[in-house]
Structures are given as structure tokens and as C-alpha cells.
């Protein structure tokens, strides 16, 4: 028998958080496992059963992130805390994930709208700086520096809003 090692990868798009299981469950394989997902700005996690060796997919309806009678809504950007726990609960892994899908869509629109713009070089420099802020935020989160991550993400958001809303600012 090998060692129990809970391991997973997180990916997302505008509407979903996907958690792919790469764990070695060994002796606790037949026992149930759960996943806890704490949404940005919340302190209480949403708890669901976790399917081992599969990609578990969560949307706003599953996570209770929209009204009960609403269609599936985009999941908000921000820091998600994901914890997968085996049985017994001494076996777990927790990871933080910076979801940036909505902001990235806004950045994509700026790239498209400004491609033929006479100010393309200036816009390109601003977009490069925005990408720097986002990559810096992701890097800081990997080292568990949440406060800095939020600050850097918010700076990128402000810069995107400025580019979106001010043609003469470009």
C-alpha cells in the first residue's frame, strides 16, 4: 500500500470552478470525501460531496451564489479557498485560487477594440502593466499573501476600468 496524498488542480471559466482530483486515496478510497469552497468575501464555506478521481464542477447554483429562481450566473472573480477532506478528516489539502475570468474577458475586449487604434503602442504598454499586476497577484497568492493579492488584483481592475471608460486616456 502507498501513502495517502490528497492532491487536486483548480481551473475556472466565467461560470464554473473545476476541481480535478489527482489524489492517492489508498486505504481511505472507499470512504466518503468532501469539498469545502469558500467564495470571495465569504467566511463560511459551501460543503459538497467530492467525487474521487474525477473533475468536480461547481457553478453559481451549486455554490448558492445567486438567487434561488435565477439561471446559472457568472461566478465572481476573487480569491476562492478550496479544501478537499478525506475520511478521517486528518487527511486534507487546502488551496487558494485567484479567479480572474470576468476581468480577463474585459481585458480581451480592450485588446480587440484597440487592435487597429493609432494609440496601440500606448494601449499595449498599459495592457502589459495590467498583466503584470495580475501575474503578481497570482504569485503572491501562491505564497499565501492574501492582502497583497487583493491589492494587486484591485489595481489591475482599476486600470482596466480606466482603459474601458476613457478613450482619451489611452
The residue to which cell 464542477 is assigned: 57
Domain-wise residue ranges, the chain:
8-99, 101-169
Cα–Cα distance, 142 to 157 (Å, whole number): 20
At 34-66, the pLDDT tens digits run: 999 999 999 999 999 999 999 999 999 999 887
CATH tag, 8-99? 2.60.40
**Sequence-ordered list of residues with C-beta below 8 angstroms from that of 2, at least 6 positions apart, any chain:** 24, 26
Angle between helices 120-142 and 101-114 (to 10 degrees): 160
At 126-155, the pLDDT tens digits run: 999 999 999 999 999 999 999 999 999 999
| Whether the model pTM is above 0.75 | yes
Amino acid at each position: 500500500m502507498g501513502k495517502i496524498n490528497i492532491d487536486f488542480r483548480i481551473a475556472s471559466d466565467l461560470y464554473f470552478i473545476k476541481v480535478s482530483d489527482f489524489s492517492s486515496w489508498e486505504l481511505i478510497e472507499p470512504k466518503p470525501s468532501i469539498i469545502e469552497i469558500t467564495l470571495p468575501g465569504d467566511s463560511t464555506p459551501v460543503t459538497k460531496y467530492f467525487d474521487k478521481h474525477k473533475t468536480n464542477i461547481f457553478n453559481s447554483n451549486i455554490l448558492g451564489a445567486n438567487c434561488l429562481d435565477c439561471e446559472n450566473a457568472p461566478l465572481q472573480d476573487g480569491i476562492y479557498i478550496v479544501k478537499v477532506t478525506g475520511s478521517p478528516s486528518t487527511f486534507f489539502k487546502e488551496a487558494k485560487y485567484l479567479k480572474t475570468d470576468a476581468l480577463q474577458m474585459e481585458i480581451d475586449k480592450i485588446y480587440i477594440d484597440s487592435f487597429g487604434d493609432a494609440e496601440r503602442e500606448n494601449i499595449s504598454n498599459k495592457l502589459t502593466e495590467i498583466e503584470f499586476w495580475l501575474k503578481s497577484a497570482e504569485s503572491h497568492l501562491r505564497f499565501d499573501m492574501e492582502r497583497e493579492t487583493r491589492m494587486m488584483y484591485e489595481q489591475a481592475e482599476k486600470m482596466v476600468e480606466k482603459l474601458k471608460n476613457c478613450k482619451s486616456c489611452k
